[in-house]
Homo-oligomer: A and B are copies of this chain.
Amino acid sequence: MTELPKTLEEAVTFDDRGLVLAVAQQHDSGEVLMVAWMNREALAETLAERQVCYWSRSRGKLWRKGETSGQTQKLIDLRVDCDGDSLLLLVDQKGVACHTGRRSCFYLAATEEGGLREVMPVMTDPGELYGD
């Protein structure tokens, strides 16, 4: 019987970029909303504020989810996986998680023929979310 880690600090493994993967799931409906990355600082802020903060690899800075769009994620619970390199964030998503204005980023489904079909509608105009 392997002993379980006692603290989050002990359990989480950051990769060679200093990042850990985070999957956001709506806590009550079970919808998988998005996947992003966190560094040590983003994780600490998320736990302290109970509002999800990621690390933006493209912008190279903290990404306080919803900071611009208002579509915040309140942290309800945080899980870490057996090898410590992935987190599951149980959140309460305000509005839409996807920058396209859809509830989840996973709005394209593969068809048997290798095609794609859209399985979620645009709920909010992205222009409204980002003011362009």
Chain A residues in the interface with B (C-beta under 8 A):
2, 4-9, 11, 21, 23, 25, 29-32, 34-35, 47, 77-83, 86, 88, 98-100, 102, 105-110, 114-116, 118-119
Contact = CB atoms under 8 A, between A and B. Distances in A.
A67 B20 CA distance: 28
Given A82-B100, A99-B82, A108 B4 contact: yes
Contacts of A86: 35, 105-106
A82 to B, nearest CB: 5
Nearest to A119: B79
16 contacts: A2-B100, A6-B115, A6-B116, A8-B116, A9-B114, A21-B35, A23-B35, A32-B32, A35-B86, A79-B110, A80-B108, A80-B110, A81-B106, A82-B105, A82-B107, A88-B106
A83 to B, nearest CB: 8
A17 to B, nearest CB: 12
The A interface is mostly helix, strand or loop, or mixed, namely: mixed
A81 B6 contact: no
B35 A25 contact: no
B82 A8 contact: no
Contacts of A25: 30, 32
